[in-house]
Amino acid sequence: MRPAPEWNGSGDAFRALPSVDELLREPALTAGAWPRPLAVEAVRAALAAARAEIARGEPAPGRPALIERVLGDLRRRSRRSLRPVINATGVILHTNLGRAPISEAAARAMTEISLGYSNLEFDLASGERGSRQSHLRELLREVTGAEDGFVVNNNAGAVLLVLSALASGREVIVSRGQAVEIGGGFRIPDVMRQSGATLVEVGTTNRTYISDYEAAVTPRTALLLRVHPSNFRLEGFVHQVGLDELVELGRRLGIPVMDDLGSGALIDPRSFGLGAEPLVQESVRAGAAVVCFSGDKLLGGPQAGIIVGKRELIEVIRRHPLARAVRIDKASIAGLEVTLRHYQRGEALEAIPVWRMIACPVDRLIERARTIEAAIGSPRVQAAPMRAAVGGGSLPGQTLPSHGVVVQPGPAGSGDPAVILARRLREHDPPIIGRIEHDALWLDLRTVEPDRDAELVAALRDLIC
């Protein structure tokens, strides 16, 4: 082997760079037992970057710097793309961070079912083929009061399936103020068109009356649709038709009412100082023929689209060919079953993380924030009051009193110091996601489980102390 070249920046800098094989034989790289193709790719990338730097007139990187680059690249390439993070944003149902964290019992059930075989579509009593829906139907009836239930992969799929099964080739009447976009480009007019139904908008954006619905009814009318505006609020000179009124009109004219609730609350958030949110049980009691809602929002379970309502309509929906295309998987069924049992047993506030976070007294958050402040022992980290939000297209504009720590960034050279600090926390393992306000990084503890406080302290110590 030829001797290692000098790394003093003099002479031919390009020739001074080691070969791919030389770097691959470095003890720091061989000790990691990296897969050779992966290691070769990382070494080649590091050498290509070094050549580009030299071409720009920059000094040639030394061997230790090259090795560190290769190791960093290998760690990045080997790391899972989908990773757990600590959500310190104060947004409980953070769509970009996976919405609802599920309960420990639900997670165990999902893991257990995924690791082996199950009676997903097998009737243990008869020994014959069964239905995956059988694991959830009775629970849905019990916790919502509906005659029947059906579950698909998400609420967008649920809405598309219901409209396709019950209204294709016919008309669906909806208030103009409810022809909404719920996020990700999912718009009610678009999904209506995709289902084969014809959208009939009535009223105006801010004011719609029951007479508007009645005037729009024709022999082709299949459904009266209410869409809960879960991610925005109309205020001021507004009027929307209540569900009771709409159901009464539907009964009189023989037209079923579909209620798209979105967030799927089974517990009244007003008990915790938040605004009103329509409850699934209330929609069922009011007489809505079909009610759709999400499993991974205020319900607090895995991603799912849940349809409950009148037995004869659920049966039509169940038989539609699209039902198979949007069907729910076995792991989500297992997690959703356990989540629904938390409600059945009256333990949702303690067991389901979303409701545990909503219900957490602010005094407990203050105590935790002060403990973190004391553990860091730096004037750059101060406990402070905050406001948390439910998020996830639920209770728009509603906030909860909260508490956390505000981290003042230190000198950062070029660039915004708070942005640089936020990025460094995102690069931590596990990544910590906060929010920037008033040129500082705010870490809200309402969305951080207490057993993660030690990780927050360790990360802040690494950055500050």
Q: Model confidence over 114-127: pLDDT tens digits?
A: 999 999 999 999 99
Specify the pLDDT at position 191: 82
Alpha-carbon distances, residue 447 vs 245, 355, 360, 374, 400 (angstroms): 38, 11, 10, 20, 11
Query: Is there a contact between 201 and 193 (Cβ–Cβ < 8 Å)?
Result: no
Query: Is there a contact between 299 and 291 (Cβ–Cβ < 8 Å)?
Result: no
- CA–CA gap between residue 243 and residue 237 (Å, rounded): 20
* 166: nearest Cα among 245, 244, 258, 261: 258
CATH value of 103-351 in 3.40.640.10, 3.10.20.30, 1.10.3720.10, 3.30.1960.10: 3.40.640.10
- CA–CA gap between residue 269 and residue 273 (Å, rounded): 7
pLDDT score of 318 more than 70: yes
The residues spanned by each domain of the chain are: 17-78, 86-95+355-464, 103-351
- CA–CA gap between residue 386 and residue 388 (Å, rounded): 7
Q: Give the DSSP letter string of 293-332.
A: EESSSTT-SSS-EEEEE-HHHHHHHHHSTHHHHTBPPHHH
Query: Is there a contact between 266 and 343 (Cβ–Cβ < 8 Å)?
Result: yes
What is the chain's mean pLDDT, rounded?
90
Query: Which residues are 260's β-sheet partners?
Result: 227, 292
Specify the pLDDT at position 184: 57
> Which residue spans within 153-245 are E strands per DSSP?
171-175, 198-202, 221-227
Query: Is there a contact between 23 and 41 (Cβ–Cβ < 8 Å)?
Result: no
Looking at residue 286, its amino acid is: A
Query: Is there a contact between 382 and 86 (Cβ–Cβ < 8 Å)?
Result: no
Element (H, E) at 149: strand 148-152
> Which residue spans within 318-393 are E strands per DSSP?
381-391
Residue found under tokens 């950062």:
412
Tokens of 185: 């480009």
pLDDT band at 441 (very low <50, low <70, confident <90, very high): very high
CB atoms within 10 A of CB 414: 5
Asked whether this chain's domains 86-95+355-464 and 103-351 adopt the same fold, the reply is no
34: phi > 0 → left, psi -120 to 50 → alpha, else beta; which? beta
- Rounded average pLDDT over 316-331: 96
As a residue count, the chain comes to 465
pLDDT score of 1 more than 60: no
pLDDT score of 236 more than 90: no
pLDDT score of 279 more than 80: yes
- CA–CA gap between residue 219 and residue 355 (Å, rounded): 45
Residue found under tokens 């990780």:
455
The reported pTM is 0.87
Specify the pLDDT at position 185: 60
- CA–CA gap between residue 87 and residue 369 (Å, rounded): 15
Domain 86-95+355-464 is of which CATH architecture? Alpha-Beta Complex (3.90)
Specify the pLDDT at position 2: 43
Per-residue pLDDT tens over the stretch 375-417: 999 999 999 999 999 986 667 778 899 999 999 987 755 668 8
- CA–CA gap between residue 294 and residue 195 (Å, rounded): 19
- Coil, strand or helix: which one is 73? helix
pLDDT score of 228 more than 80: yes
What SS3 string covers 413-444? CCCCHHHHHHHHHHCCCCCEECEEECCEEEEE
Residue found under tokens 């929906």:
317
Query: Which residues are 307's β-sheet partners?
Result: 150, 292
pLDDT band at 230 (very low <50, low <70, confident <90, very high): low
